[in-house]
Structure 1
Amino acid sequence: MIKVVLVEDHLVVRNGIKLLLDAAGDIEIVAEAENGNELINMLENGIKPDIVISDINMPLMDGLEVTSFLASHYPSIKVILLSMLNTVEQMLEAFNKGAKGYLVKNVGFSELIFAIQHVAEGGRYVCAELSMMMVDKLASSSAGGKYAYSSIDLDLSEREVEVLQLISEGYTNMEIADKLFLSKRTVEGHRQSLINKAKVKNSAELIKFAVQHHLVS
């Protein structure tokens, strides 16, 4: 069971996320807080979550400050940040401060659950929307086909090539599963295999790698 603390100052949003996570089966909401100060008090009083899911914009102590504090004082607790902004710059700042996941608030249920599970297993995750923005920026900066690296052979199976192409197009695991008539868990396995073969840390880096090495169209 993945133990989670929700930190969100809007009650309606917090309740909505809680309902989604309660339906996942392997995720337990052990506490809720309205801001970073409340979270710190909870941790000092003995609450021990695996993951903190925090809004970025909050009064008193925002999500970036929460991330920095936890990285320094509770490094075993992983942080996933939620934001209304889909800016690559804010996402990079979040990861620089120690976040393990970054999601925009319009993220779908299946992607939210996958992100939590992936981060709990030691990975890092950027939502598909931002991953595609990163690809677009990379493509713009690589105009004319001038990539930093040459094409390489990762010994990918035909199915892995199909999954990689769909990941690069921004599809979630569930959407890929529907398109290829696979189970969601099988798609998750292919995604992780691709990450391992490319020797990258997360899906965003996988997409960047695939574009640089001409592995996707």
Structure 2
Amino acid sequence: MAARRRRRRLKKRTRKQLKVWGAVAAVVAAVWVAGNWARVWPVLAAATAAAVLGGAGWALLRAHRRAVGQDLAWRAQEEARARELSMAQVDALTWQEFETYVAQLCRRDGCRQVVVSGRSGDLGADVVAYLPDGRKLVIQCKKYAPHRSVSSQDMQKFVGTARLEHGADVALFVTTCRAFTRDALGLALRQDIVALHRDLLGSWVKGAHLESLIPLNGSGGGTRRRPST
């Protein structure tokens, strides 16, 4: 107990000494500043100005970043709205008209020898064409309602015919629905099938070149690109 009391007294004495020395240091600093004011005030003024300018610059930078972020978000919303406006016209097409329309998009992007089957029993080759670099393109078109998903069974059928039956160099599965199921997308990625869901189709409709969309393969939709195994 005695040792504890001594420690408490020592702490109190130390705190008092620190307060005294702090007050002395403040007085000395004040006296020194008063005696050297002509040399001190430019430094203080410069430091204050630098602090003000730095704060203003930081505030401007934050405001700029916030404005850029808001602009990017607005542009993304406008692009999505524009895609949906265009897709509304696509949604009004019959499945035969949709295949013809996809063929027109291929021609617009420089594809050659574009042929539309226009019939059932075509073994997944709704549209056949050749890309500008000469590769054979085989397209499966699925005119589905936006809320639906392309199933694994749909993808399996196309996988089984796109290359073995039709000799595709590039196999493209394009649909008007928003997503491929997890299993369908995983199968497409493993078998090198390009999965073009509604969002990517909307970009194609709005003018994006087909060859710029091929590397995106299924990304950006409601289903993750890299499903877990």
TM range (shorter): 0.3 to 0.5
- TM-score, normalised to structure 1, is 0.39
- TM-score, normalised to structure 2, is 0.37
Larger of the two Rg values belongs to structure: 2
- Greater percentage in helix: 2
